Amino acid sequence: MKAYLYTIIYLTVLSLLIGCGAGEEDESNGAPSNSAPSNNGTTPTTVPVEEIITTGELVSDPNFNLSASIELTVTLPSLPSASTDYFINICTSFTNENNVIQVNYQSCKLRTTLTSQTQQFTLSLSTTETQLVAQVWPIENGAQPVNVFWNIRESGDNWQVTL
Protein backbone atom coordinates (compact mmCIF):
# COMPACT_ATOMS: atom_id res chain seq x y z
CA MET A 1 0.00 0.00 0.00
CA LYS A 2 2.80 2.39 0.94
CA ALA A 3 4.60 1.75 -2.36
CA TYR A 4 1.40 2.58 -4.17
CA LEU A 5 1.04 5.81 -2.23
CA TYR A 6 4.65 6.81 -2.96
CA THR A 7 4.00 6.22 -6.67
CA ILE A 8 0.96 8.48 -6.58
CA ILE A 9 2.83 11.23 -4.72
CA TYR A 10 5.74 10.90 -7.13
CA LEU A 11 3.45 11.19 -10.14
CA THR A 12 1.65 14.15 -8.61
CA VAL A 13 4.86 16.04 -7.87
CA LEU A 14 6.21 15.14 -11.32
CA SER A 15 3.12 16.48 -13.03
CA LEU A 16 3.36 19.71 -11.06
CA LEU A 17 7.03 20.10 -11.99
CA ILE A 18 6.29 19.46 -15.65
CA GLY A 19 3.43 21.93 -15.49
CA CYS A 20 5.64 24.57 -13.97
CA GLY A 21 8.34 23.95 -16.50
CA ALA A 22 5.95 24.42 -19.38
CA GLY A 23 4.78 27.80 -18.21
CA GLU A 24 6.57 29.60 -20.97
CA GLU A 25 4.49 27.95 -23.64
CA ASP A 26 1.97 30.10 -25.46
CA GLU A 27 -1.37 28.93 -24.09
CA SER A 28 -3.19 30.37 -27.08
CA ASN A 29 -1.97 27.62 -29.32
CA GLY A 30 -4.21 25.16 -27.53
CA ALA A 31 -1.46 22.71 -26.76
CA PRO A 32 -1.51 21.24 -23.30
CA SER A 33 0.99 22.91 -21.10
CA ASN A 34 2.47 19.67 -19.94
CA SER A 35 2.43 17.86 -23.25
CA ALA A 36 5.50 16.07 -24.51
CA PRO A 37 6.54 15.61 -28.18
CA SER A 38 4.80 12.73 -29.78
CA ASN A 39 6.42 10.29 -32.19
CA ASN A 40 3.34 9.79 -34.30
CA GLY A 41 2.30 13.39 -34.35
CA THR A 42 -0.93 12.96 -32.46
CA THR A 43 -1.72 15.16 -29.53
CA PRO A 44 -1.38 13.33 -26.25
CA THR A 45 -4.05 13.81 -23.63
CA THR A 46 -3.52 14.83 -20.09
CA VAL A 47 -4.29 12.27 -17.46
CA PRO A 48 -5.38 14.04 -14.31
CA VAL A 49 -3.80 12.43 -11.33
CA GLU A 50 -5.75 12.67 -8.12
CA GLU A 51 -4.53 11.74 -4.75
CA ILE A 52 -6.39 8.55 -3.90
CA ILE A 53 -6.45 7.69 -0.28
CA THR A 54 -7.75 4.66 1.53
CA THR A 55 -10.12 4.26 4.43
CA GLY A 56 -7.17 3.24 6.56
CA GLU A 57 -5.72 6.68 6.12
CA LEU A 58 -8.79 8.50 7.37
CA VAL A 59 -8.87 9.98 10.82
CA SER A 60 -12.02 9.88 12.90
CA ASP A 61 -12.79 11.42 16.25
CA PRO A 62 -12.58 8.59 18.79
CA ASN A 63 -16.02 9.54 20.13
CA PHE A 64 -17.72 9.52 16.70
CA ASN A 65 -19.48 6.22 16.21
CA LEU A 66 -19.79 6.56 12.42
CA SER A 67 -23.55 6.45 12.39
CA ALA A 68 -26.12 8.97 11.30
CA SER A 69 -29.79 9.15 12.13
CA ILE A 70 -32.69 11.49 12.75
CA GLU A 71 -34.37 11.49 16.15
CA LEU A 72 -38.02 12.41 15.81
CA THR A 73 -40.33 13.08 18.73
CA VAL A 74 -43.93 12.22 17.88
CA THR A 75 -46.91 13.20 19.96
CA LEU A 76 -50.04 11.22 19.22
CA PRO A 77 -53.51 12.67 19.65
CA SER A 78 -55.96 11.33 22.17
CA LEU A 79 -58.98 9.28 21.07
CA PRO A 80 -61.30 11.41 18.93
CA SER A 81 -64.31 9.40 20.03
CA ALA A 82 -64.95 7.39 23.15
CA SER A 83 -67.26 4.97 21.36
CA THR A 84 -64.76 3.70 18.78
CA ASP A 85 -61.24 2.38 19.08
CA TYR A 86 -58.64 3.91 16.80
CA PHE A 87 -55.35 2.58 15.57
CA ILE A 88 -52.45 4.58 14.21
CA ASN A 89 -49.66 3.50 11.86
CA ILE A 90 -46.71 5.80 11.30
CA CYS A 91 -44.84 4.65 8.23
CA THR A 92 -42.07 5.80 5.93
CA SER A 93 -43.06 4.18 2.66
CA PHE A 94 -46.21 5.38 0.95
CA THR A 95 -47.49 6.69 -2.34
CA ASN A 96 -50.01 9.40 -3.05
CA GLU A 97 -51.76 9.15 -6.38
CA ASN A 98 -54.78 11.38 -6.85
CA ASN A 99 -55.14 11.63 -3.08
CA VAL A 100 -55.26 7.85 -2.75
CA ILE A 101 -52.65 6.91 -0.18
CA GLN A 102 -51.10 3.48 -0.46
CA VAL A 103 -49.01 2.61 2.57
CA ASN A 104 -46.40 -0.11 2.77
CA TYR A 105 -47.15 -1.37 6.27
CA GLN A 106 -43.82 -3.18 6.37
CA SER A 107 -42.27 0.27 6.70
CA CYS A 108 -44.22 1.33 9.78
CA LYS A 109 -42.09 2.73 12.58
CA LEU A 110 -44.86 2.88 15.12
CA ARG A 111 -48.12 0.96 15.38
CA THR A 112 -50.33 1.54 18.38
CA THR A 113 -53.83 2.28 19.56
CA LEU A 114 -54.89 5.77 20.50
CA THR A 115 -55.78 6.25 24.14
CA SER A 116 -57.67 8.85 26.11
CA GLN A 117 -54.35 10.61 26.71
CA THR A 118 -51.83 11.95 24.26
CA GLN A 119 -48.79 9.72 23.89
CA GLN A 120 -45.23 10.65 23.06
CA PHE A 121 -42.68 8.45 21.29
CA THR A 122 -39.16 9.01 20.02
CA LEU A 123 -38.47 7.41 16.67
CA SER A 124 -35.03 6.91 15.21
CA LEU A 125 -35.05 7.41 11.44
CA SER A 126 -32.51 6.91 8.73
CA THR A 127 -31.21 10.09 7.13
CA THR A 128 -33.02 8.86 4.00
CA GLU A 129 -36.35 8.87 5.79
CA THR A 130 -37.44 12.47 5.59
CA GLN A 131 -41.18 12.08 5.32
CA LEU A 132 -43.78 10.02 7.13
CA VAL A 133 -47.47 9.33 7.03
CA ALA A 134 -49.60 8.84 10.11
CA GLN A 135 -52.64 6.80 9.14
CA VAL A 136 -55.42 6.71 11.72
CA TRP A 137 -58.03 3.96 11.37
CA PRO A 138 -61.28 3.56 13.27
CA ILE A 139 -61.59 -0.11 14.22
CA GLU A 140 -64.83 -0.87 12.41
CA ASN A 141 -66.06 -2.63 9.29
CA GLY A 142 -65.54 -0.66 6.10
CA ALA A 143 -63.21 1.73 7.91
CA GLN A 144 -61.67 4.70 6.11
CA PRO A 145 -58.41 6.18 7.38
CA VAL A 146 -57.37 9.75 8.12
CA ASN A 147 -53.90 10.53 6.78
CA VAL A 148 -51.54 13.08 8.31
CA PHE A 149 -48.11 13.80 6.87
CA TRP A 150 -44.73 14.89 8.19
CA ASN A 151 -41.62 16.00 6.44
CA ILE A 152 -38.43 17.15 8.03
CA ARG A 153 -38.15 20.41 6.14
CA GLU A 154 -41.49 21.75 7.32
CA SER A 155 -41.92 20.08 10.66
CA GLY A 156 -38.42 19.52 11.97
CA ASP A 157 -37.77 16.85 14.54
CA ASN A 158 -40.92 17.39 16.57
CA TRP A 159 -44.25 16.20 15.19
CA GLN A 160 -47.57 16.77 16.84
CA VAL A 161 -50.09 14.57 15.05
CA THR A 162 -53.47 16.28 15.00
CA LEU A 163 -56.74 14.96 13.62
Partner 1 sequence: MLSFTKIQQYLFIGLFLFQCSLLAAPFESCPSKAFLMQQQVAQLYGVNLVTGEYNLLSDDLGTTDKINAVGFNFHDNFIYGWGYEWGTLVQIGSDYQATPLTLTNNPGINFFVGDVALNENSYYFYKKGASYGLYKVSLDEQSSDYLDVINIIDGSSLSLTIYDLAFHPSNNLAYTVDKNGELYQINATTGESSALGNVGESGTFGAVYFDIDGNFYISRNSDGYVFIINLSDETPSAQFFAYGPSASQNDGARCAFAPVVDESMPATTDYGDAPDSYGTTLFSNGARHGLSDIYLGDTITAEHNANIYPNTDQDDGIVFITPLLAGSDSLIQVQATGAGYLNIWGDWNRDGEFSEDEKLLSDKYMSNTTEVFLVNTPLSALNGFTWTRARFTSIPAIVASGGVADGEVEDYRVIVNNPGNSQIQDTPHYLAFEDRWPEQGDYDMNDVVILQNSSLLLTESFEVKQIEFHGELKAMGAAYHNGFAIQLDNISPSNVDSNLVRFEINGVLQDTNVIEADTEFLVIKITEDLRDHVQLTAECDYYKSEQNCGNGSQMTFNVTVPFITPIALANFPEAPYNPFVFAQDGTYHGDLFFHPGRGLEIHLKNKMPTSKADLSLFGIADDATQISNGYYYQTSSGMPWALAISAGSEEEWKHPLEMVDIIHAYPDFQNFVESNGNTATLWFSQSNAISSKLY
> What are the residues binding partner 1 (CB under 8 A)?
52-69, 85, 87, 89, 92-93, 104-113, 115, 119, 121, 123-129, 137, 139-145
| Smallest distance, partner 1 to C-beta of residue 121, A | 7
> Do residues 63 and 71 touch, judged by C-beta distance below 8 A?
no
State the CB neighbour count (10 A cutoff) for residue 88.
Answer: 23
| Smallest distance, partner 1 to C-beta of residue 97, A | 15
| Smallest distance, partner 1 to C-beta of residue 95, A | 11
Q: Which is nearer to partner 1, 8 or 125 (CB)?
A: 125
Q: Which is nearer to partner 1, 26 or 61 (CB)?
A: 61
| Smallest distance, partner 1 to C-beta of residue 45, A | 22
| Smallest distance, partner 1 to C-beta of residue 64, A | 5
DSSP character string of the chain: -HHHHHHHHHHHHHHHHHHHHTTTS-GGG---TT----SSSPPPPP--------GGG----TT--S---EEEEEEEPPPS-TTS-EEEEEES-EEEETTEEEE-GGGEEEEEE--SS-EEEEEEE-TT--EEEEEEEESSTT---EEEEEEHHHHTTEEE---
Q: Which is nearer to partner 1, 4 or 27 (CB)?
A: 4
Q: Which is nearer to partner 1, 20 or 143 (CB)?
A: 143
Q: Which is nearer to partner 1, 43 or 55 (CB)?
A: 55
